[in-house]
Amino acid sequence: MKKINYKLIIMVILSLIAIIFVYNDYFLYNTPILKVKKINNETRESTLHKEEYLDQRITGIIMNGEFKGKELTITNTSSYSQVFDMRIEENTEVFVNLNTNGDFISIQNIKRDKYLIILLIIFIDSILIVANNKGVKTLLSLFINIALTSLAIMIFKRNFRNINMLLLYIIVSILFIVISLYITNGKGKKTISAIASSIISLFISFGLSFSLIKLFGKDLFIWSMEYIEAVHDYQNFFYTSILLCGLGAIMDISITISSSLNELILKNPNIERKSLIKSGKEISKDIVGTMSNVMLFTVFTPVLPSILLAIKDNILLINALNIYGELELTTVLCACISIVLTIPISLYTSVFILKGKEEIK
């Protein structure tokens, strides 16, 4: 009991240090940061707009760089809705563009790094408190996944006209599968069978989605995809997002099935293949429903602001859904199809690997 408290104290101290650090990290940035002290809001008298617009006169102090300590007054226009603009409040910190004399040119951005870091710290602390050692493993595998993702992005960024994005990510996906399943579940037959069934499921289900989109997806309006203009090969860009979307879910189902079948075999080594498959089916029935809902809610909901803006401008709901929701819904449905397909695939693969070796012994 005492040891755990010790860990807790270290954790709290480290978290506090990190939070204090991000609240004072102005020196890390080259762009001048203005800490807002006083704001003068004036309602704009205008017949052009249908909602309240404020002209903000903002006074603050520059926190870093050449003009550190200088008091500066800047202006900002803010609408009530803040669709493309922002309303600045007291104690907000903003990045500003200044000319060489230190005069204000424009507002660049709001300083948001501290909120991201605070959430990150809450996430790390809570996973360590709730899951202890398993939390460490989960964090490690998440960290490696992030590192691999960034590595793939970097490779692609450097040489993005010559590398096939889809092919790159297929290779990286296999690495994702092997590394994360290995870290979180250790060595052993159940990990091997989970890895094998994840890879087989990934190929079969992605192959299906790929050919379905090739066959029937000619009317898909890929240009409405965000950031599409940044990518040279936009077809493969869309396929890549489909490939990655279901990847985590495939791993999830594979490891769930293979570890529960492994458990059953451990309890009763003479269990028949048929009854193994039957119990596996029972277990997996519970997974599909909630997993497909996870995909729907996490992937589809972020398009709602765009749809809202469109229907507010008298676009019919069904048309707005078609423009902004079609690609996301396609991605969600492809992921859901992968989820359903993974169940029989990983059932048979797991039985083959787990039972097959058992008999040789």
Q: Least distance in Å: CB of 259 to another protein?
A: 8
Nearest alpha-carbon partner for 264 in 341, 272, 193: 272
- Residue 251 or 353: the one with the smaller Cβ distance to another protein is 251
Among 193, 197, 256, 346, binds another protein (CB under 8 A): 256
Neighbours of 34 (CB within 10 A): 28
Residues 199-238 that bind another protein (CB under 8 A): 212-213, 216-217, 219-220, 224-231, 237
Applying CB under 8 A, which part among 3-11, 37-45, 68-76, 152-160 lies near another protein?
Answer: 152-160
Among 96, 199, 334, 353, binds another protein (CB under 8 A): 334
Q: Least distance in Å: CB of 359 to another protein?
A: 27
Instruction: Check binding of 300 to another protein (CB under 8 A).
Output: yes
Among 65, 182, 337, 352, binds another protein (CB under 8 A): 337
Q: Least distance in Å: CB of 230 to another protein?
A: 4
150: which 2 tokens? 């960034």
Q: Least distance in Å: CB of 13 to another protein?
A: 21
Residues 98-117 that bind another protein (CB under 8 A): 109-113, 115-116
Sheet with 71-79, edge to edge strand ranges: 71-79, 53-62, 33-43, 93-98, 104-110
Q: Least distance in Å: CB of 142 to another protein?
A: 6
- Residue 67 or 169: the one with the smaller Cβ distance to another protein is 169
First to last CA, the chain: 43
Residues 120-139 that bind another protein (CB under 8 A): 120, 122-123, 126-127, 130-132, 134-135, 137-138
The strand pairing partners of 93, in sequence order, are: 35
Nearest alpha-carbon partner for 57 in 39, 36, 72, 84: 39
Among 222, 288, 352, 355, binds another protein (CB under 8 A): 288
Nearest alpha-carbon partner for 15 in 140, 121, 164: 121
Instruction: Check binding of 40 to another protein (CB under 8 A).
Output: no
Q: Least distance in Å: CB of 36 to another protein?
A: 12
Among 24, 97, 164, 293, binds another protein (CB under 8 A): 293
Residues 66-95 that bind another protein (CB under 8 A): 79-87, 92, 95
Instruction: Check binding of 178 to another protein (CB under 8 A).
Output: no
Q: Residues 21, 23, 25, CA angle at the centre, nearest 5°?
A: 65
Instruction: Check binding of 329 to another protein (CB under 8 A).
Output: yes
